[in-house]
Structure formats: structure tokens, C-alpha cells
A and B are shown apart, each in its own frame.
Chain A
Amino acid sequence: MLFTIANQQIRSILRDGRFRTSALLMGGLFLLSVLGTLDYYTSLKKQHDEATATAREQWENQEDKNPHSAAHYGTYVFKPIYPLSYFDPGVDAFTGNTLFLEGHRSNQPKFRAAEDRGAFARLGILTPAFVLGMLFPLFIILLGFGSAATERENGNLRLLLAQGVKPSTLFWGKSLGLWAVVLLLVLPFFAAGAAGLVAVNAGGEHWLRYALIILLYLAYFGCFIHLTLIISAWTGKQNAALVGSIGAWVLICLLTPKVVVNLARQLYPAPTWQAYNDAIKKDLETGVDGHDPTDVFTQKLEKETLAKFGVDSVHQLPFNWDGFVMQKGEEHETYVFQKHKTRLLNIYRQQQQIHQAAAVVSPYILTGILSQQLAGTDVNTYFDFLAAAERYRVQLVGELNADLTYNFKYGDWSGKRGKDFFAQNTRFEYASSPTDKLLGDLAKPAGFLLIWLVVSGWIAVFFFKKMEPV
């Protein structure tokens, strides 16, 4: 009986002009989004690979110079572009993924894609994730809003129930029918997405992530199928069901995400750029400055070091004082930057916690969080990259200062290092968090999404049973 109802639902929808029009529209938009982002991804990936190679080549082939001067010369690192970022670019467009590393200071990433595109980019770019997350629910609503309401209004429900159909069977049949139509349209989408992965030559781990993305969006669509059926049965009137479903869509997909972001910012405000930099500047003055011998902290360090080694002058130290004081200054600077960055990061984390907690009310937010995590374009992956880049900076500058300290004589600023030395400096290697750790992070939001799916189905059965066949 279940399949009879589902089959009838499928036939009715497929023969309806609304389906053909909206399916064509959806298909067109999705194809456009895949082609558009794939093109963007491949050109970005190419730029990045080239830039990564160029940055290292420039580092190794820099003019012969003093190792500390090389720390000032600096180098670039790039956040890897993952194959699935074409599916869901996530925060990548807003955060920038190019970082300049140098001695004495910890920089902010540059080259945000959103900067190039202006305010329009914030409205959402046409990405596969946007089409599936934001637009596809409208397609489900359009096909399903009448499922119960139309039957009730035109009297077919009376005939159905008189034939001995249980209301719960009617619900399962209707949702099965909607599922079939949704799959009919969305499976080619996922195949197109997979073709995209083949095109960018993605590795096995990314296929696992992609499989999870497919499951994720199917669960998300399930929530909207249930929601549409709930509202259809609850209102019992076509017009009210359409208005109600679109209202729910506005609430879930447009309103809550904005409200939640603003709420998080209100509760845990981040300092202004100005205040943040001023605080760092102020703290930098409370420690050793390697470039300023008159600095009180430098002088204090000098006294202590001389006393420790029992000598009268920095000339008599068993190492190059210049290199030593540079490294001490670097350590202080690193400490200050780290302190303020951690403070800022904690504010962001608190905002994120609000976001995750509030995500419970909107399957759209839950799906967004999970989709970005799976694509490797979420904010945690970004912070992870920044932390790795900072560790690398500390290591590289430390190597250079150590060379100056132990391999150069005091006052020898004209001594130089060449290509053979720079080529031996540590390379930046960054791998995103492994998939098994990722799966742990996914568990909670995925659990909430499943609860949404199950509870909404349960509520839908309740409203189908309550529906009066007037």
C-alpha cells in the first residue's frame, strides 16, 4: 500500500508542469554552480601550486645575506586548496589563504576572494552547496506543499480513508514519493559533483568526504520533506501550506543564520582592529627588542647574561650576542602575538559555540557546519592552518637566529649565507586534520541533524493522524 501511494505521488508529480519547470531551473542552476566553482577552483589551485613553488624557489635563491636579514626577507605560505572546496568554499572566500611569514611579527592572511568581489559576495555566491542548501528546499516545498492539504481540500482524503488507508501509511507513502522525486533530480547532481572530483583528480580521502556530504544533504532534504508534509497536514489548506512552508524556509535558511551570527557577536564582541593592534604594540614594549640596544629590557638581559657566564663584555661570550638577543627578542614578540591571538581566538571560539548551540534550531546551519567541515573549508581548519603556519614561522626564524648566534662572530654583520644554506631550511608542510579526527568533530552536529530528521517525521505522522477529512 505504501508503494502504491508513493507510486501515485511520483506519477502525479512527474506529469505536473510545475515539476518540469522547477527541475529544469534547479538542474540548470546546479550545473552552472558546478562549472563556475570548478573553474574558479582549478585556476586557484594552479595559482597556489605555482605560488607555493615560487615562494620556496625565491627563498632558496634569495641574494646571499646574513641569516637574520633573511628572517626579515620572509617567505609566503598558502593554505592548501582542497578538492571539495569547489563544492563548498565555506569561509575560504572571506578568510584569505595567503600568509606572509617574517621575523619579529606574526601577520594576518591576505588576499581574500571576497575583497575582490565587494559586498555582493556576502549575499552568497552560486556554489553547489548554496544551490543544495538554500535553493533545493524551495523545490521540495513546491512539489510537496499540497501533499496533504490538496487531498483534504478536494475531498480525496475522505475517499482514501474510506478505502481503509491508515493516516500513518498515507504519510509514509507521500514522503516516499517525495523522496523518489527528490532523488530522481538530485542523484544526477551528485554524479555531476563526482565528475568534478574526477576532473580535479581527488584522492581517496576526499571521496570518503564526498560520500558523507551526499548523506548529509540527503538527511537535510529529509528534514524539509518532513517539514513540508507537517505544514501541509497541519494547515490542511493549500494556500496556507504554501505560505507556511515558505515562511519556515525563510526562518530556517535566512533569518536564524543571521540572527545567530549577530547574537554571537553581541554576546562575545571581538575587539576592533585598531584596539587589537594597539594592545599588541603596548605589550611589545614590555620586553626585549633585539634591534634596540638602548632598550631597558635588552640592557637587563645583557647584565644577567654577562653575570651568568662570568664575563665583563658581550665580546667574551661563547656565542654571538647579536644572534642571541635577536632570538630573545623574537621569543618575546612571539609570546605577545600569541597571547593576543589566543585571546581573539577564544572570543571566536565562544562565538562559534553560540553558533553551534543555536544551530539546533535550524537544519540549515547544522548542514552548513557539517558541509564546510567535510569540504575542509570550515573555520576550524582555517585556524588549524594559521597555528601550523605560526609554528613554522617560529621554527624558521629560530633556525636563522641560531645560525647567527653560533656560527657567526659578534659584530660580524657582513657575514653571509647563500643558496646551499637556505635550501636546507625547514619546508612548510601542512596536512589538514585526518579524516578519523574529523569524524569525531562531526558527530555532534550530525547527531542533531538526525534528531531533526526523526523528530520531524514523528511530528508529521502526528499531524497526519490529526487531519480531519472535512
Chain B
Amino acid sequence: MISAKNLTKKYGDKTALDNLTLDIAPGEIFCLLGQNGAGKTTTINCFLGFTQPTSGQAFINGLNVAQHPIETKKHLAYLPEVVVLYPNLTGLENLDYFSRLAGFKYEKAELLQLLERAGLPKDDAVRRVSEYSKGMRQKVGIAIALAKKAKALFLDEPTSGLDPKASNDFTHLLLELKEEGVAVLMATHDIFKAKDGATRIGIMKDGRLVNIIDNLRDVLHAKEIEDIYLQTV
């Protein structure tokens, strides 16, 4: 569903992304770990078409992103690290707006349901976003991603700003989506959450995917992943 073939991005002399080859199947959650500047966001940007790769290709549902920038967007949903939205609009109105842009016209009840699934109660949904906390905005962002019913999901530090309970709820939501056959690529710093949710974990360093942990069932403690991570970076 999500795949990269020799994906490389260079800025002058600096290589932000070095020959990344990756395949994420439906129902798979792939977590990218790595320090800041390791190339996680560049990877996501290439899949979203925001960054043109220097060489190699990114594919969504078999379509080359560079050649089909609009078509590939229909198959993906994206949740940024910081969801800002429009402060003068309510959470509900924001969700409605972004859904309409993606071509979905939901009834108010459906929108509220989506927000509820993302963890935002109805009372909060009808308040203006200017009164929201970072976590509440993040939940609207999750609802926006859910509303697209996409088969490929890109998450950039999705749990930043969420309290531990909300963060936990989000992991459960991800597992539900996994059951529905969604392919997920998630960049994160949270090794514990990665262990709970991921089917595979990739560790990036200096633009290269240096280590993939795919025997997660055999890993008993997040500590083991942390050790591997620390040795790698």
C-alpha cells in the first residue's frame, strides 16, 4: 500500500534521505524511530508529494506520487505533529471543512461521531478552536484523518500533546484501523507506544534506514528496543 523504491533526497551536499526502500502492506503499522534530522519527516514529505525526491520513487496504492500528486491524495490521510486548524471556527466546522475538501459531505451527527471516536466529546466539538488545548486540536486532526477513510495513513509524532489516557486511546484506535486493513507509517519518538502498536519498527540515522525490528512478538520489553535504538544511533 505504501512503498518506496531507492528514495533519495539531497539538499546540496547534504543527503536527507538515502536510498530508502520500504514496503508497508495493508494492516501493517510501521514505526519510524530516529533522532531529529534523521530523515523521518523527509520520508513522509516524499509520500505526501511536498518534497520532490532527487532520485527513486514513492508509491501510494501502486501510484507514483510524483506523477499523480492529486490522485494519490485520495488514498492517504495525514496527521501532522502540530494541528493548528482555524481558530475562528469550531472543531466541528473545521472537521466539516477539511472533509469537504477531501470530497466528503458528512451529516452533523456523523461528524460528531468521528470526533467522538477521536476522543473529542460533543460539548467541546461545538466550541471555537481558539479555546482548544493542543491535545484537543490533535484530536480534531485525528478525526480529519479518520474522516477520509484512507487506506494509507501517515502520522508525524501523532501523540505529541496528548495526555497519557488520550495517547493510550489513540493506540487502540490505531489497532482498530489495523484490523480494518489500513497501512500506517508513523514517525515517533515514543518507543513504548511504538512497541505497543507497531508491527515493525525501523530505525533511521542520517537519512538511512539502518535497522528494522520485525520480530516484535519476541520482544518482551520496550527496554530491549530502547537498547537497540541507542546502539544504532
Contacts and interface: CB of A to CB of B under 8 A. Distances in A.
B78 interface: yes
Interface in A118-174: 154-156, 158-166
Interface in B33-87: 48-50, 70, 73-74, 76-78, 80, 82-86
Contacts of B48: 158, 161-162
Interface string A445-470: 00000000000000000000000110
B70 A159 contact: no
B112 interface: no
Given A16-B88, A468-B50, 17 more contacts: A1-B100, A4-B97, A8-B97, A15-B88, A15-B89, A154-B82, A155-B84, A158-B50, A158-B78, A161-B48, A161-B73, A162-B48, A162-B154, A163-B73, A164-B70, A164-B74, A166-B70
B48 to A, nearest CB: 6
17 contacts: A4-B101, A8-B86, A8-B89, A11-B88, A12-B88, A12-B89, A15-B88, A156-B85, A158-B80, A159-B80, A159-B144, A161-B50, A162-B48, A162-B76, A163-B73, A163-B102, A164-B70
A15 B88 CA distance: 6
Interface of A: 1, 4-5, 8, 11-12, 15-16, 154-156, 158-166, 468-469
B103 interface: yes
A164 B102 CA distance: 6
Nearest to A165: B101
B98 interface: yes
B148 interface: yes
A156 B144 CA distance: 12
B116 interface: no
Contact of B73 (A15, A155, A164): A164
A157 to B, nearest CB: 9
Contacts, number: 66
Interface of B: 48-50, 70, 73-74, 76-78, 80, 82-86, 88-89, 93, 97-98, 100-103, 141, 144, 148, 154
A4 B78 contact: no
A158 B83 CA distance: 10
A233 B77 CA distance: 25
Contacts of B50: 158, 161, 468-469
A34 B159 CA distance: 57
B89 A11 contact: yes
A160 to B, nearest CB: 7
Contacts of B88: 11-12, 15-16
A257 B88 CA distance: 39
B84 A154 contact: yes
B86 A156 contact: yes
Nearest to A173: B101
Contacts of B83: 155, 159
Contacts of B148: 163
B223 to A, nearest CB: 34
Contacts of B77: 162
